[in-house]
Structure 1
Amino acid sequence: MPSPTQRALARVPVRLRPFLVRHRRLVKFLLVGSGCFVLTTVIDLELKFTVLEHEPVVALTVATVIATVVSYVLNRRWAFRTAGHRTEAVLFFLVSAVAIGVNVIPLALSRYAFQLREPYVTPFHQEVADFVSGMVLGTFVAMLFRYWAMRRWVFTGSVPRAVPVPEPGYAAPEMPRDVP
């Protein structure tokens, strides 16, 4: 029975399959990151418009910490399946702590250095600036840092090679038999 990854690859155009297989770790990392981006956005907005209304940097930090825990589990189980080592979780969370700082710096700069907040701008412009600086720019820069650091220091084991997915209707050639 084919794996979920093989079933998904079977639906991808044939020309893209070699690229996706060759860069499967990056593709999986981006899929995990996309899901965690949505999770971070939802939690951030919920916190910003309820209990942390006047603390946008704290709201983004809390949302990013929660998404980081989810990211660890998904990356460990799927994107970076390795033999693992004892310090892996510690290294992951150290790298993630730096990445969380990288993630919130653009929002803090936008709000407090560039004064893109009320009463200097409209509430709408404040929210747009918060989203672009914190969620888009901050997340993008933090993602680049995380991917580089995870490959460099955290998930350093070898990744098993993927089994190529045959095209529908394709039969593998028979191996020649050595008959004495």
Structure 2
Amino acid sequence: MAFIEAILDRTPGPLRGVVMQHHELIKFAIVGATTCVFDAVIFYTLTLTVLADKPTVAKIFSGVCAVILSYILNREWSFKNRGGRERHHEALLFFFISAVGVIIGAAPIWLANNLFGMRQHDSHITLIVVDFVLNYIVGNLLQMIFRFWALRRWAFPDDMSGAPEAEQILVDETS
């Protein structure tokens, strides 16, 4: 991740202010893209094999796996300068918020399959394309907006990047 931080630090002058002002959002988006690929690999592996008739179950399972990876990456990189809570409390809030995000992300595919009968189509390619659009464009966009807002507000509320080094160490030791 030091490579990406070096890129952010070397951003050209006119963009540097914007990039540095929104560095958490940029890092959050990079983590999101990484976990999206992770999620997609698991989802399509399941829906093209053992869970072909249960795409919502596959989406929830792949979403939970992606949330675990997301916690590690967000805690250690995107929001590493945030804190204000004990680590177990922060993790509990993160996983609760992310569980709501998984439900929000799975909602479009659930609606398409259970209310509009998308699995009735014969074309396998159509199902793959529709699953992709509903999962990774509509669903991820909705849950990403919710999670970024909720994580900054409740799980990682305090910006500690300006805190003196001694306070940073003290916060890290109590976690």
The two structures have a TM-score, normalised by structure 2, of 0.83
Matches within 5 A, 1:30-49: 30-49=29-48
Residue matched to 1:54? 53
Contact persistence 1:84–1:155 (CA under 8 A) = yes
AA of the residue aligned to 2:123: T
CA–CA distance in structure 1, aligned partners of residues 125 and 4 of structure 2 = 41
The Cα of 1:14 is off from its aligned counterpart by 2.8
Matching residue of 1:25: 24
Show structure 1 runs of 5+ residues with no match.
162-180
Q: 1:121 to 1:115 in 2, by over 3 A?
A: farther
> Which residues in structure 2 correspond to 1:19-168 (within 5 Å)?
19-81=18-80, 82-86=82-86, 87-118=89-120, 120-160=121-161
Structure 2 CA distance, aligned partners of 1:83 and 1:68?
19
Cα contact 1:116–1:126 (8 A) shared by 2: yes
Worse-superposed segment, 61-70 or 78-87: 78-87
Whole-angstrom distance in 2 between the partners of 1:15 and 1:42: 37
Q: What one-letter code is carried by the residue in structure 1 that aligns with 2:98?
A: S
Aligned residues: 158
Confirm or deny: 8 A CA contact 2:83 2:160 kept in the other structure: no
How far did residue 9 of structure 1 move? 2.8
Contact 1:36–1:67 (CA under 8 A) maintained in structure 2: yes
Q: For residues 102 and 5 of structure 2, what CA distance do their matches in structure 1 show?
A: 33
Partner of 1:8: 7
Q: CA deviation at 1:158?
A: 1.1
Say if 1:99 and 1:145, in contact at 8 Å, map to a contact too.
yes
The Cα offsets for residues 141-162 of structure 1, whole Å up to 9 and x where unpaired, read as 000000010011110121415x
Structure 1: distance between partners of 2:136 and 2:148? 17
Partners of 1:47 and 1:6 in 2: CA distance: 34
More helix by share: 2
Measure how far apart 1:42 and its partner are. Answer: 1.0
Identity of aligned residues (%): 36
CA contact (8 A) 1:106 1:134 kept: yes
Once the two structures are TM-superposed, the CA of residue 55 in structure 1 deviates from its matched residue by 1.2
Which amino acid in structure 2 is aligned with residue 143 of structure 1?
M
Moved more, 99-108 or 50-59: 50-59
Larger Rg: 1
> Residue 91 of structure 1 aligns to which amino acid in structure 2?
L
